[in-house]
Structure 1
């Protein structure tokens, strides 16, 4: 775990503050949004501290463009006004992007391979192995040492059998000689799922164990959890598909939110609705539209990056 401002909780608060700033700067904020922002600020000291930081940054970046605006917007040059307005829009985004960048660990930016939110990559390594990175993920690859280090997010690794590969994660490591595994790193654990073959695991604490095909286990700082069955069809992200089988809508939306930049909110009354289906991750807006067509909810879009789901016929 990272400490201080690089902890997952600190990054989460910084993202929330930046998202609130983006909403206010968009001009689409309503009176209820301002009230919700105030409740968010009052709910925790860290929230208020983060909000003051984004306000300070906003003022720091705002000064020069606004001064230019006063001198230029009234001039009868449509082209100049257009360029200036574009510059003002860019300047409004700078503090948000800067803040989010500062809150991400340096090792993510320096990783050999990494993906942005909603991005997916598939790489063929020099030894014939295939490495896929899911949304918001990062790894370092050292084939000379036969080592892949998972820095962030989720990967799928397929090893052809020419030579074993070891994956190092914060809560342990495992080695695969031949087969395929999926590995997901969350805040407090790392889930290892074996699609095919057998993985040799060494948790940070406790004895090593063999994990055969169709089994999965969570590694934590305290050691390995219980081994359980694994449905190899579930990590559909490898084929850019999000799958649900009678899943609570709240859980489905929390997973969908990993693939969408910006804010995705929903009324708590929708949490218990059930979702079944396979959804293409190439267009998350379409997924929301499909949910609205099949469930008693409606999608309210403030901006491309601020979307709310509410019960049908109920306004936010």
Structure 2
């Protein structure tokens, strides 16, 4: 098969679209251009997806590309023939089907950040002065002077000296290793090594290794033993202990595209185990070996866990 007709995985096409939208939201960001260059050079298929997307974008006479769900099928159908006439025709069909809702008018905040990851991606960033930051799936951070700001998602911070601001406070570590995560309504921090000073508008607190804390708008709450290992993702793993199925799927869903859920009759079933984040399909199949359930997959973007008949 020629390079022109090569069929690309949807995950690669979707990632190329996300890169395109990040650039449109922050075109002057030199670091973003460097990250994109690294991604394109990492795999010949990445570069091919990027070139195809630019050709489609160049022929599309609007300020934004269609969203990923619409663009992927159009690129699929145009893979074997990217001529101007055929591409315009396919895009025109897509517009007719999607009307005004086809266009992406606002890029998510993560795409306007200094560093960001797409769904399922993890990335390391050197903070300098002997410190390192690692972004988990769907996360974004900004750099403000010597301070790093967690905009969304989750990060691991490790090293001699660092300062990271989360939604409701500022965390400063010395020879410390900690995970910070933004949740609905509060920020969460777990310390694996060293000590972290947490400063908020209502006070300060020092958090020692082995402890976790929820940082809320007006208070800090101690986090007890968790069903989820907060550091396992840094090793590419999802490690759970006696977790509800519905909570497991909510966590696993962060690492894959599309909708993932379960029937209410199996939501409270519990499971324990070690799962590999880079193999989401295998992760879901393993559930059927641990629990009396089966998988209903109408498309790879819509998956529901159901009880066995």
TM-score tier, shorter chain, comes to 0.5 to 0.7
SS class of match (2:234) = helix
Q: Which residue of 2 aligns with 1:302?
A: 298
SS class of match (1:290) = helix
Q: Retained in 2: the 8 A contact 1:246–1:275?
A: yes
TM-score by length of 1: 0.64
Larger mean CA deviation between 220-229 and 85-94 belongs to: 85-94
1:170, distance to aligned residue in structure 2 (A): 1.4
Deviations 1:44-82 (A, max 9, x none): xxxxxxxxxxxxxxxxx8xxxxxxxxxxxxxxx9x9997
Are residue 195 (structure 1) and residue 199 (structure 2) matched? no
How many angstroms apart in 2 are the aligned matches of 1:247 and 1:227?
A: 16
Superposed, which structure 2 residues align to 1:1-316 within 5 Å?
A: 87=91, 91=95, 98-99=103-104, 102=106, 104-105=108-109, 108-142=110-144, 145-159=145-159, 161=160, 164-205=161-202, 207-226=203-222, 228=224, 233-313=229-309
Q: Retained in 2: the 8 A contact 1:214–1:231?
A: no
Q: Which residue of 1 aligns with 2:31?
A: none
Q: Retained in 2: the 8 A contact 1:214–1:232?
A: no
TM-score by length of 2: 0.66
1:193, distance to aligned residue in structure 2 (A): 0.9
How many angstroms apart in 2 are the aligned matches of 1:132 and 1:236?
A: 13
How many angstroms apart in 1 are the aligned matches of 2:280 and 2:228?
A: 23
SS class of match (2:106) = helix
Q: Retained in 1: the 8 A contact 2:133–2:157?
A: yes
How many angstroms apart in 1 are the aligned matches of 2:276 and 2:102?
A: 28
Larger mean CA deviation between 86-95 and 108-117 belongs to: 86-95
Unaligned 5+ segments in structure 2 are 1-65, 67-80
How many angstroms apart in 1 are the aligned matches of 2:214 and 2:255?
A: 23
Question: How many residues of Structure 1 are paired with residues of Structure 2 in the alignment?
Answer: 228
SS class of match (2:288) = helix
SS class of match (1:125) = strand
The root-mean-square deviation of aligned C-alpha atoms, in Å, is 2.9
Closer/same/farther in 2, CA of residues 125 and 98 from structure 1, 3 Å limit: farther
